[in-house]
Amino acid sequence: MDKKYINVGLIGYGTVGKGVVKILEENKKIALRKVGKPIKVKSICDLYPIDRPELYVKKFRDIIKDPEIDLVVELIGGYEPARTIIIEALKAGKNVVTANKAVLAKYWDQIFTTAQEYQKSIYYEASVGGVIPVVQGLSEGLASEEILEIKGILNGTTNFILSEMTKNGVEYGEALKGAQKAGFAEADPSFDVNGIDTANKLAILASLAWGGWVKVKDIAVKGIADLDIDDVMISKEFGYDIKLIGSAQKTKNGIDLSVQPCLVNHENVFATVENEYNAVMIKGKASGDVLFYGKGAGQLPAASAVVSDIINLSKFIVTNTAGIVPDVVYNRKTRLKILPSGKSKAPYYLRFSVVDKPGVLSKISGILGKYKVSIASLSQPDMNEDGITQIVVTTHETSRGNLEKALKQIDATKSIVKSKTVKIKIEM
Contacts of 53 (CB under 8 A, 6+ apart): none
Residues 6+ apart with CB under 8 A from 80: none
Say if CB 138 and CB 205 are below 8 A apart.
Answer: yes
332 binds a second copy (CB under 8 A): no
Strand 71-74 to 6-11 pairing: parallel
Q: Among residues 52, 324, 397, 428, which is the contact residue for a second copy, using CB under 8 A?
A: 324
Is 421 one of the binding residues for a second copy (CB under 8 A)?
no
Task: Out of 18, 94, 101, 201, pick the active-site residue.
Answer: 201
What are the φ/ψ torsions at residue 41 (nearest 5 degrees)? -80, 110
Residues 298-317 that bind a second copy (CB under 8 A): 300-301, 303-305, 307-308, 310-312, 315-316
Check residue 223 for interaction with a second copy (CB under 8 A).
no
Binding mask 35-64 for a second copy (x = CB under 8 A): -x----------------------------
| 59 catalytic residue (yes or no) | no
Residue in 80, 146, 186, 237 binding a second copy, rule: CB under 8 A = 146
Instruction: Give the count of residues interacting with a second copy (CB under 8 A).
Output: 56
For a second copy, the closer CB: 112 or 191:
112
Least CB distance to a second copy at residue 404 (A): 35
- The answer to whether residue 374 forms part of the interface with a second copy (CB under 8 A) is no
Closer residue to a second copy, CB minimum distance, 113 or 409: 113
**Position 19 contacts a second copy (CB under 8 A):** yes
Cα 393 to Cα 350: distance, rounded to the nearest angstrom: 5
Cα separation of 66 and 140, whole Å? Answer: 32
d(CA 25, CA 386): 63
The answer to whether the CB of 196 falls within 8 A of the CB of 221 is yes
DSSP 14: S
Contacts of 211 (CB under 8 A, 6+ apart): 329, 330, 331, 334
291 binds a second copy (CB under 8 A): yes
> For a second copy, which is the closer residue by CB, 18 or 423?
18
DSSP structural state of residue 27? T
Residue 301 CB neighbour total at 10 angstroms: 22
Binding to a second copy by residue 75, rule CB under 8 A?
no
* Whole-number Å distance between alpha carbons of 102 and 104: 6
Rule CB under 8 A: choose which of 25, 59, 144, 370 binds a second copy: 144
- Would you name the residues annotated as active-site residues? 201
Q: Which residues contact a second copy (rule: CB under 8 A)?
A: 19, 23-24, 26-27, 30-31, 33-34, 36, 125, 131-133, 136-137, 140-146, 211, 269, 272, 284, 286-295, 300-301, 303-305, 307-308, 310-312, 315-316, 318-319, 321, 324-325, 329, 331
